[in-house]
């Protein structure tokens, strides 16, 4: 009868396990192709400590468990040599249903962290604890929480795909980032009614930027997304009935250029009623709109042509979100140069956020506001009900006390 093999701590070694003279453990097995494969670890079990100066890794027994799972499922271990970075890129490219803007967001997020050695790890060599530690490390290195969260989401979905394709056993990114990394999204807070009025009054009189009063006013008083405003054509403005038809947006992404896309979600298809003041702004914009011999034409993915865009630059090109972002930045910069009390950073999305907050503070029911904003869920809309200002709360409390 053969003698039971033990490690340096006196623990019994299983079939295929051995320990080298330097203390490192190894396990040998035969893969589905008949090849002999060896895996290594400085720890036999998960409770063991990694020797000082050695790389943190899964224990040998943890690796054995995964290998046996793969062999039982008849997974080809050779296919599991895919790295995290390769898996993430495969996932992004395998989703034709994603909008170009989403694909661009995903790709730029992965590009931001692609230099991390962790992403060169094999997909079946990564434990949940290691994935969490990596996210913590990214945060310490100054990577914005939004980027970390997006990358983690990509990898979580990519692992789900890999498990379905039977090249991965488990999903180490199936955890909530907020449990391991404290971060705040760069929110674009609503400005106060006083700040909004100060900006609009300034635009009315400023010799340089008064030409932008109407579009800025419309954004603050309708809550449109800036990409939806950029996509407005003459056909979308119903002055007779006082309505704005939102059924598309203008986008621009690398490798595709400028194009017409559907609204952000199904809820984005909507009709926004105009106030009299908004209607007057549209009338002035249309009246002043310069006529071009060759009106720009953009197409959607179905080949439908769009022309007669409401706002064009001097060269007759359709303005995009980035153009308006820059204009807002210039306007606020000029305002702050002329006033002691400065305005905060204001963007087209701040205008949208401000409109939604003002509507919520005015008592507009959440479901109605959800429709006007084109929010996909009521949860997004309800978030704006938390941005009530202290003064507004005081008025509400006073009204309650009178009942």
List residues with catalytic annotation.
Answer: 225, 264, 349, 352, 375, 385
Burial of 166 (0-12, 13-18, 19+ CB in 10 A): middle
Structural element, H or E, at residue 281: helix 276-288
Pick from 249, 207, 215: which is nearest to 328 by CA? 215
Q: How many other CB atoms sit within 10 Å of the CB of residue 227?
A: 21
Asked whether the beta carbons of 387 and 190 are under 8 A apart, the reply is yes
Which residue spans within 21-146 are E strands per DSSP? Answer: 25-30, 36-41
Number of H helices, E strands in the chain: 14, 10
Please give, one letter per residue, the 3-state secondary structure of 101-122: HHHHHHHHHHHHHCCCHHHHCE
Closest of 397, 360, 363, 361 to residue 375, by C-alpha: 360
The 10 Å CB-count burial string (b at 16+, else e) for 74-85 is ebebebbebbbb
The encoded tokens of residue 38 equal: 């060896």
Phi and psi torsions of 12, nearest 5°? -70, 135
What is the C-alpha to C-alpha distance for residues 261 and 265, in angstroms, rounded to an integer?
11
Calpha distance 196→198 (Å, rounded): 5
């Amino acid at each position: 009868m053969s003698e039971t093999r033990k490690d340096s701590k006196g623990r019994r070694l299983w079939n295929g396990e051995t320990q080298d003279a330097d203390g490192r453990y190894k396990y040998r097995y035969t893969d589905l192709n008949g090849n002999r494969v060896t895996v290594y670890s400085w720890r036999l079990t998960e409770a063991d400590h990694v020797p000082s100066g050695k790389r943190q890794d899964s224990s040998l027994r943890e690796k054995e468990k995964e290998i046996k799972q793969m062999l039982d499922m008849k997974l080809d271990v050779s296919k599991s040599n895919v790295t995290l970075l390769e898996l993430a890129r495969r996932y992004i490219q395998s989703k034709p249903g994603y909008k170009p803007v989403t694909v661009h967001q995903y790709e730029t997020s992965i590009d931001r962290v692609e230099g991390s050695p962790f992403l060169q790890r094999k997909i079946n060599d990564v434990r949940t604890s290691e994935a969490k530690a990596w996210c913590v490390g990214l945060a310490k290195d100054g990577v914005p929480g939004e980027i970390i969260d997006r990358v983690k989401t990509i990898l979580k979905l990519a692992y789900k795909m890999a498990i379905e394709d039977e090249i991965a056993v488990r999903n180490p990114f199936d955890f909530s980032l907020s449990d391991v990394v404290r971060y705040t999204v760069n929110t674009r807070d609503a400005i106060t009614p006083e700040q909004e009025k100060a900006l609009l009054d300034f635009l009315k009189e400023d010799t340089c930027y008064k030409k932008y009063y109407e579009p800025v006013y419309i954004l603050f008083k309708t809550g449109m997304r800036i990409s939806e405003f950029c996509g407005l054509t003459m056909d979308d403005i119903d002055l007779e009935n006082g309505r704005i038809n939102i059924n598309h947006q203008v986008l621009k992404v690398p490798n595709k250029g400028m194009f017409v896309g559907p609204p952000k979600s199904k809820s984005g298809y909507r009709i926004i009623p105009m106030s009299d003041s908004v209607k007057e702004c549209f009338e002035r914009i249309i009246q002043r709109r310069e006529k071009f011999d060759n009106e720009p034409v953009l197409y959607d993915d179905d080949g439908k042509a769009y022309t007669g865009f409401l706002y064009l630059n001097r060269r007759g090109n359709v303005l995009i979100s980035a153009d308006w972002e820059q204009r807002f930045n210039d306007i606020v910069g000029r305002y702050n140069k002329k006033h002691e009390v400065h305005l905060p950073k204001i963007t087209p999305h701040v205008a949208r956020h401000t409109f939604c907050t003002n509507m919520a503070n005015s008592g507009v029911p959440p479901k109605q506001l959800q429709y006007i904003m084109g929010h996909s869920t009521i949860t997004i809309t309800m978030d704006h009900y938390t941005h009530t200002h202290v003064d507004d709360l005081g008025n509400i409390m006073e009204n309650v006390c009178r009942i």
